[in-house]
Amino acid sequence: EIVLTQSPGTLSLSPGERATLSCRASQSLSSSYLAWYQQKPGQAPRLLIYGASSRATGIPDRFSGSGSGTDFTLTITRLKPEDFAVYYCQQYGSSPPGYTFGQGTKLEIK
């Protein structure tokens, strides 16, 4: 089973700044199978990025994803107040088929 480790656990930034969130996999995985989600309190997660770098429908272009192999990054430029939330990375594995999530990064207002 591939384990995803996210860092940092908490990131404190101000609106207008740039956020860089990391997701490291315990073994190499296909970029096609790496996604990112945003979750706000009391809400279901929302898909941001799939295939490591493709934005989901309706996601603003200040959100971008990159990476390959074992190291993946979610970057949020020009932070807005509504961007402060918890972010999760997720991978799909085919053998056996299934999904795992990272433990999450909390992005908080400084």
Partner 1 sequence: QVQLQQWGAGLLKPSGTLSLTCAVYGGSFTGYYWSWIRQPPGKGLEWIGEINHSGTTNYNPSLKSRVTLSVDTSKNQFSLKLRSVTAADTAVYYCVREDCSAGTCSHFDSWGQGTLVTVSS
Residue that is written with structure tokens 């993946």 in the block: 72
Beta strand 105-109 with 10-13 is parallel
Among residues 14 and 44, whose Cβ is nearest to partner 1?
44
CB of 37 to partner 1, least distance (A): 8
Contact map string, positions 28 to 67, toward partner 1, x by CB under 8 A = ----xx-x-x------xxxx--xx----x-----------
Q: Which of 63, 74, 83, 104 binds partner 1 (CB under 8 A)?
A: 104
CB 46 within 8 A of CB 39: yes
Tokens for 82, please give them. 């509504």
69 binds partner 1 (CB under 8 A): no
102 binds partner 1 (CB under 8 A): yes
Report the C-alpha gap between 103 and 57 in whole angstroms.
24
43 contact partners, CB below 8 Å, separation of at least 6: none
Binding site for partner 1 (CB under 8 A): 1, 32-33, 35, 37, 44-47, 50-51, 56, 88, 90, 92, 94, 96-104
